[in-house]
Amino acid sequence: EAGVAQSPRYKIIEKRQSVAFWCNPISGHATLYWYQQILGQGPKLLIQFQNNGVVDDSQLPKDRFSAERLKGVDSTLKIQPAKLEDSAMYLCASSPPPRTNRAYGYTFGSGTRLTVV
């Protein structure tokens, strides 16, 4: 099966500019996640979608970050305006919903490396 698609792979922007990332999950995966991974740290959840609804966005900096998942398939994450501390890898992941209390592991896309200068 095709994996999680993300674009672009790399992006360099100046602070205060805006940037958008795109993700297309594995076909049939209802759950989509956006993670931020700062160098040397583990991934941190930004937002979780179930179909086209938001399940958890408690760690999303809503003053500058926004995300949408129209039609319950692909998703876009936007940062406006960007700050230097937003430099990180942005990872999209998807998973099928768990049938029991045991979760399936995520499948991550290749990620977008963002550098804010």
| Residues forming the site for other proteins (CB under 8 A) | 33, 40-45, 48, 55-56, 89, 91, 98, 101-103, 105-111, 113
Helix (H) or strand (E) holding 90: strand 88-95
In order of 2, 36, 52, 92, the CA distances from 69 in angstroms are 19, 17, 5, 12
Residue nearer to other proteins on the CB measure, 27 or 101: 101
> What is the nearest approach in angstroms of other proteins to the Cβ of residue 48?
6
Residue nearer to other proteins on the CB measure, 71 or 102: 102
Residue 47 CA to chain centroid, in angstroms? 7
Reading the block at residue 26, the tokens are: 């594995």
Residue nearer to other proteins on the CB measure, 17 or 107: 107
> What is the nearest approach in angstroms of other proteins to the Cβ of residue 60?
13
> What is the nearest approach in angstroms of other proteins to the Cβ of residue 104?
8
State whether residue 21 is helix, strand or coil.
strand
